[in-house]
Chains A and B, each alone.
Chain A
Amino acid sequence: MKRTRNRMYQVCVVFFLLIMAVICLAPFVYLVVTSFVTDMSLVFKNGIALKITPDMLGAGNYSMLRTDDNGLYFSWFKNSILITMLFTVMSITLSSMVGYGVAMYDFKGKKIILVMILSTMMIPVETLMIPLYNEMSQFNLLNSYLGVVLPFAVSGFTIYFFLQYGQSLSSEYMDAARIDGCGEIRIFLNIMGPLMKPAFTSMIILQATTAWNDFLWPLIVMSKNVNFTLTVGLQTYLSPYGNNYNLLFAGAVVSVIPIMILFFLCQKLFMEGMIMGGIKG
C-alpha cells in the first residue's frame, strides 16, 4: 500500500521536474540550433515560430564571428576573461580577509564594522552609478579593467558569506599556531584559509559568474567598442534595425561556454558548498 503510493508520488514528481528541466534547458538547445542557421533573415522574420530544417544549417555564422571587424569579438572575449579573473581574484582575496578578520578576532569597533557590512548589503549599487561614473572619470579609470573591477571588488554579500563560514571554525588552531610562533598573516594563509576551502569554491563560481555576466556597470565604464565585455558587445547586435543575428546567436553561444566549463569542473563542490555552508538566515 505504502509502496504503491510512493511509486505514484515518484511518477508525478519526475513528470513535473522533467517539465521544469525542459523549460530551463530548451532555450539553450534553441540558441545552439539556431546559431547554425545561415540565412538569418528567416529567423528575423519568423522568430521562434521558424521551423528549422537540416538543409538550412551551416557553420557560416561562426566563421563570420571569427573574421568580423578584424576579430572584434575576440577582443571582447579577452576583455571578459581578464576582467572576470581580475575581479574574482581581487574580490575573493579581499572579502575573505575581511570576513575572516571579523569572524575570528575580538577587537574594538567590531560591532560598528559589522553594522557597516550589513548596511552595504542593503544599498543597491544601481543608485550610485552616476557618482561612481564621475569618480572613475576623475581617477582616469574609464575604459580600463580596473574601472570595471575596483568599485565592487569588496562586496558585503561575499564578506558575509566568509564571515558565516569562519564562525563555524574553531579558534583553537590559531592559538596553537601562535604558540609555535606563527604570525597572524601566516595563520590566515597556511592554516585557517585552507579550512575555508568549501566557502572559497562556492564564492569563486558565484563571483566569476557575476563578473562574466555583469552588464550595467561595464556598459557605463566601457565606451570604446574594443574595450567592451561580451555582454556589452553582444548587446550592440540587438539593435532593432540592423540585421546582426548571424553574429548575435553564434556570439551568444560561444559566450556561455567558459562559465559552463568552470561550473561543470567544480559543480559537485559548488552545490555542496552552497547547500551545506550557505547563508543560514
Chain B
Amino acid sequence: MKKKRLITQKTAPYFFCAPFLISFFLFLLYPMINMVYTSFHKLEGISKYRYVGMANYERLMTDTHIKAAICNSLGFTVGIIVVNVTLALFLAVLLNQKLTPCRNAFRTAIYIPALTSIIVAGIFFRLFFGSNTDTPLNTLMRFFGAGPKEWLYDTALTGIVALVFTSTWRWLGTNILYFLSALQTIPPELYDAAYVDGASAWQRFWHVTLPGVKPILIFVVTILTYGGLRMFGESYVLWPGSKTPGDIGLTIVLYIYRTAFGQFDMGYASAMSVALFVFLMILNALYIKFFRIGKKEG
C-alpha cells in the first residue's frame, strides 16, 4: 500500500507560506492594532493605560519639536535622493563600461562602506564634522575664503548636510549594485544601433540607458524615500545623548524613540507612530499611482 503523504502538491504551498502568514499576523497586524489602541491612551505608572481620547493627536499639532523633526527628516530625504540617485547612477554607468580599467576592484572598494555599522561610520564622521579649525573640511572652507564652521551645531541645514554625507557613505555602494543589475538588462545591440545612428554619449545615456534603468530607478527612489523618512541611527550617533540647540539633527523616528523609551510617554509616541505610518501609506499610494509600480510597461 502506498503511504499517504500529509504534504502533497495541493497542500505544499500552504506549508511553504505558513512562516510568512504567522509572522504577518503576529508581528505586523497585531502590533498595528495594538499601536492604534495605545495612541488613544496615556501610560500611568508601569502598565496602567488611561483613555484620553484625541488628546495625543491634538498635542501633535502644537509640538514644536515634531515640526523641527519633520523638517529635518524631509530635508534629509530630499538630499539623500538627489545625491544618491545621481551619484550612484553615474558611478554605475562608469563601472559598467568595458573601457573602464579595474572595474571589479573599484566596485568592491566603493561597496565596502556598506558593510559597516552606523556606529563605525558615526565615530569617523563625528570627528570629520568636528569644529577644530584644521579638519579637512574646515581647511577646504578656508581655501574658499569662508571661516571654519561647527558643522554639527551651526544651523539645521549644516546638520542635514552632515547627515546626508554620513548616510551616502554607507548607502552608495548598495544603490550602485542595484543600478548595475539594471544595466545588465539593457541589450548591447541598442547601444550599437544608437552609435551607428550617430548619437552622442549624452544622447545614448538619455535615450537608451535612462529608459532601460527606469524600473530600478523607481525602486531606488522608493527605498531611499522610506530609508530617509525612517532614518534614526545616523542622527543618534552624530548627536549622542542629549538635546541639541534648535533640535538640529532631530529626526522623526529619533523623536519617537526618545518619547517612548526616554520619557516612557507610550501613548504620545504611539500617536506619532500612527501619524508617520498614515503619512507613509499615503506616500505609498501616490508613488504607486504616479510611478505606476506593478504595471509592466512595454
Contact = CB atoms under 8 A, between A and B. Distances in A.
Interface of A: 6, 9-10, 13-14, 16-17, 20-21, 23-25, 27-28, 30-31, 43, 46-49, 94-95, 97-98, 100-102, 105, 107, 110, 113, 116-118, 120, 122-124, 126-135, 150-154, 159, 178, 183-185, 188, 209, 212-213, 215-216, 220, 230-231, 234-235, 238-240, 248-249, 252, 255-256, 259-260, 263, 267, 271, 274-281
A67 B219 CA distance: 47
Contacts of A30: 124
Nearest to A119: B284
Nearest to B128: A48
B134 A271 contact: no
Contacts of B101: 10, 14
Contacts of B38: 130-131, 134
B241 to A, nearest CB: 5
B64 interface: no
B17 A101 contact: yes
Contact of B132 (A47, A100, A213, A259): A47
Interface size class of B (residues with CB under 8 A): 35 or more
Which of B117, B277, B281 has the most A CB atoms < 10 Å from its CB? B117
Given A21-B110, A47-B132, A48-B130, A124 B230 contact: yes
Contacts of B21: 113
A280 B260 contact: no
Given A124-B229, A278-B178, A281-B215, A24 B169 contact: yes
Nearest to A174: B9
Contacts of B266: 130, 134
27 contacts: A13-B99, A14-B100, A25-B109, A28-B112, A47-B131, A48-B136, A49-B134, A98-B17, A100-B16, A107-B10, A120-B24, A127-B35, A127-B274, A127-B276, A130-B35, A130-B38, A134-B34, A215-B236, A216-B232, A220-B261, A260-B115, A271-B177, A275-B180, A276-B181, A278-B178, A280-B185, A281-B218
A131 B241 contact: no
Contacts of B112: 24-25, 28, 260, 263
Contacts of B177: 271, 274-275, 278
A132 B114 CA distance: 27
Interface string B130-154: 1111111000000000000000000
A275 B118 contact: no
B204 interface: no
Contact of B253 (A100, A118, A126): A126
Interface of B: 5, 7-10, 12-17, 19-24, 26-28, 30-32, 34-35, 38, 91, 94-95, 97, 99-102, 104, 106-128, 130-136, 169, 172-173, 177-178, 180-182, 184-185, 214-216, 218-219, 226, 229-230, 232-233, 236-237, 240-242, 253, 256-257, 260-261, 266, 269-270, 273-274, 276-277, 280-281, 284, 294
Given A25-B109, A263-B115, 19 more contacts: A20-B106, A24-B110, A24-B113, A47-B127, A47-B132, A105-B12, A105-B13, A123-B28, A126-B256, A131-B38, A133-B261, A134-B266, A213-B116, A213-B118, A256-B120, A271-B107, A275-B177, A275-B184, A279-B178
- Most chain B beta-carbon contacts within 10 A, residue among A132, A212, A278: A278
A235 B241 CA distance: 10
Given A48-B127, A107-B14, A184-B8, A20 B91 contact: yes
Contacts of B31: 128, 131-132, 135
Given A124-B229, A240-B241, A131 B117 contact: no
Contacts of B277: 123-124, 127
A280 B111 CA distance: 20
A122 B100 contact: no
A267 B104 CA distance: 10
Contacts of B7: 183-185
A113 B20 contact: yes
B184 A154 contact: no
B19 A47 contact: no
